[in-house]
Amino acid sequence: MKDYLIYSIGFLSQILFFARTIIQWFKSEHEGKVLSPTLFWKISLLASILMLIYGIMRNDAAILIGQILVYFIYVRNIQLKNDWKTMSPVMRGGILIMPAIILSFLFIGTDYSLATFFKNENNPLLLMIWGILAQLIFISRFFYQWLYSENRKESILPLGFWIISIVGSAMNFIYGVYRLDPVLVAAHSLGMFVYLRNILIHYNRRSLFSRLNIPVLEKLIAFVSGKIK
């Protein structure tokens, strides 16, 4: 029952991460250029909170480090999209302190310690190092994106973001295979297509939607795209 709960949280988190990617790709595919919807960043926040919980329950330092480092970049992008102040003060405060609450529970409310994570007998040291490196490379895409966006004073998903995504995703996929972690394997195998499509869109390749030539479906796609902000 415990494993079922753990993997349910992990898969729900990855479903949300994948959903944000599909939403971003769908909007970009329709518009014919790579876009950075506000919804992408809001879903990222929710998924990150779930992934922090999953990392604790899986006793996995690589996952925790990755999510903690990138969490506030999601917040900053919402600010750059001018959507942060539209949230209630209570919600904004809760978002800002959530990582601290989760980590406080970990080290105060349980028997865990830093040594517990880095001496996990189910995760050998070399594999843990690979996993942490994979996470650092994968999340570095958001640091790159953040600096790129700050320089232009708007939230943008540049070409380098997608190239780093492919490299980091491949490393995380390998880590998930050796870790026997179905959540990581599923997540990083599904994301590769979207990362590649965004690279092709960046180089002005023809939109997949433009080839449909089905008026009803094209109207539906345009309607859905219009609802994504």
* DSSP for the chain, written as a single string: -HHHHHHHHHHHHHHHHHHHHHHHHHHHHHHTS----HHHHHHHHHHHHHHHHHHHHTT-HHHHHHHHHHHHHHHHHHHHTT-STTS-HHHHHHHHHHHHHHHHHHHHSSS--HHHHHT-TTS-HHHHHHHHHHHHHHHHHHHHHHHHHHHHTS----HHHHHHHHHHHHHHHHHHHHHT-HHHHHHHHHHHHHHHHHHHHHTTPPPSGGG---HHHHHHHHHHHHH--
Residue 15's pLDDT band (cuts 50, 70, 90): confident
Instruction: Mean pLDDT check: name the lowest of 9-18, 35-44, 142-151, 156-165.
Output: 9-18
pLDDT of residue 126: 80
Residue 42 predicted with pLDDT over 90 = yes
* Interval 168-195: pLDDT, tens: 999 988 888 887 777 778 778 778 888 9
Mean pLDDT, rounded, for 124-136: 81
pTM value > 0.85:
no
* Interval 59-81: pLDDT, tens: 766 677 778 888 999 999 999 99
pLDDT of residue 112: 57
pLDDT of residue 160: 94
